[in-house]
Structure 1
Amino acid sequence: MRYANRAAESMLGYAPGQVVERPLIDFEPGLHMDRWLNLWKNARSSEDSPQVFETHCLRADGSLLPVDVSLSFLRFRDAEYLVVFLTDVSERRRAHDLLRELSAHLESVREEEKAHIAREVHDELGQMLTVLKLETSMCELAYADLDPGLSERLDSMKRLIAQLFQLVRDVATALRPPILDAGIASAIEWQARRFEARTQIPCLVQVPDNLPALSDARATGMFRILQEALTNVMRHARAHTVEISLTLQDGMMCMSIADDGQGFVIESGRAVSFGLVGMRERVLMLGGRLELDSEVGAGTTLRAYIPLDTLAQERRQ
């Protein structure tokens, strides 16, 4: 470090003059030599467009400060420098975290309301339709022989009632699939078979035995991510097969959805579609991360990672 203004020293928690001549790794522990050389090379090759990224700086007291970094290349008096502009984004980060917590709470309330409505639809409407079906059958026994036309009308009513029964089941299942009560593994298998029946695309499911139990919120969140991912496959991928796997990796539960479809360029508009944004937000609300790999002609793989240590804390609570 050759020079730092007072604002930078204060931001990093140092007294005046304590920053100069210190190695950069003191302020960014992840700045190893290969990364530093890569930043220098990129800055020299694009002098007119600064490099911008987000990272964490190590303050004098050992705490981490989230910052936006802008790197520019400068030639001055036969010497070359990297000019670093730091912007403290801790308040913005806190606001994002609070907003994400609020979103997670609202999503939990929404899913609870869906489950309540699903029960009401299934129980109340189902009971009324059962009574209606019974009354129709009683009318058929009492009056059908007296009027052939009435018999046809009653048969038509019974068919409509059967269709309403199926509609009620479909609506209740869409609001909250009962299979979730059997665990995330069973729910994934069930959704895969529904996807196969709807699209005629073979769907292979690989789930290990003895998976850790998930809270209702996390199981529902992972299930919704799976639904959205399979919807994207159906609409865009032109795939011949789909593979879904659930694994445990480094204290994380990973759900992977891979297809052998046409793929796409991740930097294109498809990569920032509302569907992907929604899946990423769901994963972040669960404390995890989302990864996407795709290449034109080579298919797409989406991985959602959920931390298991958080799950254990929830179970203890």
Structure 2
Amino acid sequence: MLSVRKRLTRAVLMLALLAACGPALAAPARLSAPVSAALLILLVVGAAFCLGWHKIRSDDRAAEADDRLEQERDALEQAERELADSHSLLCKLVLEQAGVRDAERSRIARDIHDDLGQTLLSLRVDMSLLELCTSTMHPTAHEKISDMGTKLDYAIRTLRVVINDLRPLGLGEGLRAAIERQLAEFSRVTGITHCLDVNPEALAHIAGQRALEAILYRVTQEALANVARHSHASRVRVSLHSDGERLMLRVQDDGVGLAAGALERGYGLAGMRERARIACGELSIERGPGGGTVLALCLPLVKETVAG
């Protein structure tokens, strides 16, 4: 909206033009040629002045609009940077939380091993001695004690599995070596051949980030377990790459593919999705282009420093 002063200025200019041009328009025959020419020149000059004034105002308004647009663009870019920094900070805090949780899991595993584990082992030794003593004297008691020893052995094996899942990973020599070790054991147990493709740039991006390495290793471990249990595959390929902004982990097999309703039933997918969520990433599972199943984990790379 134009201001009152601008409206008054426009009205005065129009009245001046009408006053100057009115006589010429009303009674052109009564005016001499020089006067008519002067009035015509004045009319042209007035029209040019009005057009120029409007052009200047239009340019001013366009410049003001450009300035506002530039300010809004700068504000949007600033908001995007702050959002990206906040996301990076959130990811770092979540990863630190995961590291604290892993440390607590390690303590629990150590306590279980030192207390419950040793107690069960001591109990198994005593039961073995009791089983030996009753082998000839009390056949019925011997059979019962032998059955109890079998159940105790199963309990000890189960406890070892729990401790193994809780204790910290053997990532001392790096993520690649840990995955290679896991794949070698996987192939030895299942007979499924494997191929590992790790981009050195991806390893460089996560060097020293133990929580992130643990997430990648655990997801690979669970994905291989799913391949062994459900895929009926003969070959599995594990790859880890980076595009500078994201890490991409892929586990692909040549098995029978996803069964109907497999995603709803679980197959350990809930745990993998939870790990992906911890690192602000995404997990997808779909059929491979040539059959089989492709599990893909995409994690954002966390900045080392956050803009203050």
3-state secondary structure, aligned to 1:153? helix
Structure-2 residue corresponding to 1:161: 152
Asked if 2 retains the 8 angstrom alpha-carbon contact of 1:283 and 1:304, the reply is no
Deviation at 1:159, TM superposition (A): 1.5
Asked if 2 retains the 8 angstrom alpha-carbon contact of 1:239 and 1:260, the reply is yes
Report the count of equivalent residues: 230
Cα distance in 1 between the residues matched to 2:82 and 2:139: 77
Structure-2 residue corresponding to 1:191: 182
Query: Which is strand-richer, 1 or 2?
Result: 1
Q: Which amino acid aligns with 2:77?
A: L
TM-score relative to the length of structure 1: 0.53
Q: 2:122 aligns with which of 126, 131, 135?
A: 131
TM-score relative to the length of structure 2: 0.54
Q: 1:11 aligns with which of 72, 96, 99?
A: 72
Deviation at 1:127, TM superposition (A): 0.8
Structure with more relative contact order (C-alpha pairs < 8 Å, separation 6 or more): 2
Cα distance in 2 between the residues matched to 1:280 and 1:102: 14
Deviation at 1:219, TM superposition (A): 2.8
CA 1:147–1:293: 2 relative to 1, 3 Å: closer
Cα distance in 2 between the residues matched to 1:224 and 1:189: 13
Deviation at 1:114, TM superposition (A): 1.5
**Which ranges of structure 2 fall in alignment gaps of 5 or more residues?**
1-61
Asked if 1 retains the 8 angstrom alpha-carbon contact of 2:257 and 2:288, the reply is yes
Q: Percent identity?
A: 29
1:193-272 aligned within 5 A: 193=184, 195-196=186-187, 201-205=192-196, 214-230=208-224, 233=227, 239-245=233-239, 255-260=249-254
Q: 1:65 aligns with which of 77, 95, 99?
A: 77
Asked if 1 retains the 8 angstrom alpha-carbon contact of 2:256 and 2:291, the reply is yes
Say what the alpha-carbon RMSD is for the aligned residues: 4.7
Query: Which is helix-richer, 1 or 2?
Result: 2
Cα distance in 2 between the residues matched to 1:274 and 1:152: 42
Deviation at 1:93, TM superposition (A): 4.3
1:1-317 aligned within 5 A: 4=65, 8-13=69-74, 65=77, 88-89=79-80, 92-176=83-167, 179-181=170-172, 183-193=174-184, 195-196=186-187, 201-205=192-196, 214-230=208-224, 233=227, 239-245=233-239, 255-260=249-254, 278=274, 280-284=276-280, 296-297=289-290, 300=294, 302=296
Deviation at 1:106, TM superposition (A): 1.9
